Amino acid sequence: GGAGVPRINEAFLNLKASYLFAEVKKRTQAYRAAHPDARLIDLGIGDVTLPLPPVVVDALQAATREQARAETLRGYGPYVGYEFLRAAIAEHDFGSRGVTLAPDEIFVSDGGKSDAANIQELFAPDAVVALMDPAYPVYADANVIAGRSGPADASGRYPGFVYLPCTAENDFQPALPDRPVDLIYLCYPNNPTGAVMTRAMLRRWVDYAREHEAVIVYDAAYEAYIRDPDVPRSIYEIEGARAVAIESRSFSKSAGFTGLRMAYTVVPREAQGRTAAGAATSLNQLWLRRTSTKSNGPPYIVQRAAAAVYTSEGQKQVRGLVDSYMDNARTLREGLERAGLTVYGGRNAPYIWIRTPAGTSSWDFFDRLLAEAQIVGVPGSGFGPSGEGYFRVTAFGSHADSVEAVQRIATRLRG
């Protein structure tokens, strides 16, 4: 028996049996073990494949040399990130778009994943959470662990969450919640559907949040992939958003930092929550307190590497990376369409969202693509119940693999 050992947080038991990407990996490894000679093309988890931009490598090396001398050693840094990086972010990611942010509204972290998982700590245990369906799994899982979900029902939905279905039928644009919510997770450009949100749509959400006293957590991890000049790059381009929106970005997919780790979250000074007694409270101050308590900030050398991205040479090199992946996106989108599949996304996002053939479930399509074309993608149903009948492939593979993938699908996946 368990007597004499501590009780656990039983909310963990409400998580689905396996993290989506773990199941993808498991099935892929099983296939590999059974077919050791097969050459798999991995368009699944979505890790980057191109090397770091040279300015980033140079900055890493220079910062490392600083750490090698007592006179220039940097030990513990500011909990929230160095001022040189926060100032560069404010100027280049926002100032250039007409959005004024102060460095103390920007919190540097080790990843968009941690930020997406941690931000819910600012809100009450019984806060009501609205989630896009399908969505990046971290938003839901972090709130499950925090005890806001209860157990999932038979369809895989958590009765405690408000789901905002995003399907081809509504152009992957969620409808406003039909009951009161406190926290709304929006992600644009979207993982997994590849959709973007127009200015008018985003304004509806900001207006809704202001009217209904909700906070929007806006995940802009894929902002660098926006091509359409009319699509907003930051939620703060929308009037009134500073009071109701928290925005996160990541260096992972723009500058290839999936291994280095670097991201940031913006919590504007105007953003507020309230106590049970109704006292207004600054979310910026809460997040500062939380970050100071739980973090010593990302490594100095990585922050120097991130700052190098904002030099004019760095911007050029990052644009080159993004252009390469977007070239893959076009190759995949056009090739899959030619092969007769219905596809979405891939125009302002590095993800292609495939409609599985009629009668084929997401996991069936995964198994088929693996067996018939030796291609690994991600079943849409893994991102939420409304992802059933869809399948995600990423543009982060090599160009040669993207070309070969569409050839394999066109020639082998018939009937």
Binding region for ligand PLP (CB under 6 A): 46, 111-113, 116, 136, 187, 191, 219, 221, 250, 252, 258, 263
Residue 217's closest CA among 172, 249, 247, 239?
247
Number of helices (H), then strands (E), in the chain:
12, 15
Residue with smaller CB distance to ligand PLP, 60 or 116: 116
- DSSP percent split of the chain into helix, strand, coil, nearest 5: 45, 15, 40
72 CB neighbour count, 10 Å cutoff: 10
Residue with smaller CB distance to ligand PLP, 103 or 350: 350
Residue with smaller CB distance to ligand PLP, 44 or 112: 112
Q: How far is the CB of 152 from ligand PLP (least distance, A)?
A: 21
Residue with smaller CB distance to ligand PLP, 137 or 335: 137
Residue 39's closest CA among 396, 415, 407?
407
Residue with smaller CB distance to ligand PLP, 149 or 250: 250
- Strand (E) or helix (H) holding 130: strand 129-133
Separation CA 51–CA 47 (nearest Å):
12
Residue with smaller CB distance to ligand PLP, 191 or 386: 191
CA 78 to chain centre: 25
Residue with smaller CB distance to ligand PLP, 136 or 225: 136
46 CB neighbour count, 10 Å cutoff: 22
Q: How far is the CB of 251 from ligand PLP (least distance, A)?
A: 7
Residue 131's closest CA among 203, 181, 171, 202?
181
Q: How far is the CB of 45 from ligand PLP (least distance, A)?
A: 8
Q: How far apart are the first and last CA of the chain?
A: 55
Residue 306's closest CA among 265, 349, 254?
254
Tokens of 307: 């700052």
Q: How far is the CB of 193 from ligand PLP (least distance, A)?
A: 11
Whole-Å CA distances, 186 to 25, 139, 235, 344, 379: 27, 10, 10, 18, 21
Q: How far is the CB of 339 from ligand PLP (least distance, A)?
A: 26
Q: How far is the CB of 338 from ligand PLP (least distance, A)?
A: 27
Q: How far is the CB of 294 from ligand PLP (least distance, A)?
A: 16
Q: How far is the CB of 258 from ligand PLP (least distance, A)?
A: 5
Residue 405's closest CA among 342, 313, 338?
338
Residue with smaller CB distance to ligand PLP, 21 or 31: 21
